[in-house]
Homo-oligomer: A and B are copies of this chain.
Amino acid sequence: MSIRVTVWNEGRHEKKSPIVAEIYPKGMHEQIAGALRQSQGLEITTATLDQDAEHGLSQERVDRTDVFIWWGHLAHKDVDDRIVERVHKRVLNGAGIVVLHSGHMSKIFMKLMGTTCNLKWREEKNEREILWVTRPGHPIVQGIDDHFILDREEMYGEFFDIPEPDCTFLISGFGGGEVFRSGCTRTRGAGRVVYFRPGHETFPTYHNANVLKVIENAVRWAAPDPALARIGFGNRKLGWMSDYPTGNPPAV
């Protein structure tokens, strides 16, 4: 059974900036989607903010998505609250979401984290980023060496205002001396949330083989338990319980 992935991208930088358009002629979403399509067992579609009604995230599409990939930046505020609510609910019910780069301040990520998700940043200085593996053996860093280097990236620095992660699998060091928790996992409800830092739009980051490998691994890790569609939260769902698990009330 395939993992159904929706690669969602704001998609505006590509239209506004010739630099971005040159690096990603079909948009970042199509670049990422194209790479994932070469991997077995994944069924990939894309959606963007302005493409369709409901940002391409109709109820039907959301229901048929196992893992979301999310890239946004300039237009976080233009994402409709009802769509955010819809994706949030789907994640809590078992879907995965892989939030990329500036998606750290998207409504959906902030809603899942409960914090501002703010950080320090410095761009266009072409800083070198080294990403160090801090949890070797984790499925998300499968096939990744102990570190990899991106010659030019935007700097993101701590304090990154997120809750303590369940697992931190990558930490970055930047040329300027800053550090950043670049790869983190968490559960929310029955769903899984991955944050993965790289991907400034003016650099060819999503052409990098290591970056694409981490995204693919993250998708597989975050994919829902197939049994969940059937049993959900189980026979005794959440809410009011009139009866007892063993049938009879306890002796008083």
> Taking beta carbons and an 8 Å cutoff, which residues of A are in contact with B?
92, 94, 111-116, 118-122, 125-128, 130, 132-139, 141-143, 145-147, 149, 155, 157-161, 163-164, 166-168, 171-179, 181, 186-192, 224-228, 231-242, 244-246, 249-252
Contacts and interface: CB of A to CB of B under 8 A. Distances in A.
A179 B176 contact: no
Nearest to A111: B114
B240 A121 contact: yes
5 closest A-B pairs by beta carbon, nearest first, are A146-B234, A137-B190, A251-B251, A175-B250, A173-B179
Contacts of A252: 126, 175
A249 B125 CA distance: 9
B168 A166 contact: no
A129 to B, nearest CB: 9
A148 to B, nearest CB: 9
Given A92-B116, A114-B113, A171 B158 contact: yes
Contacts of A228: 136-137, 142
A225 B139 contact: yes
Nearest to A225: B142
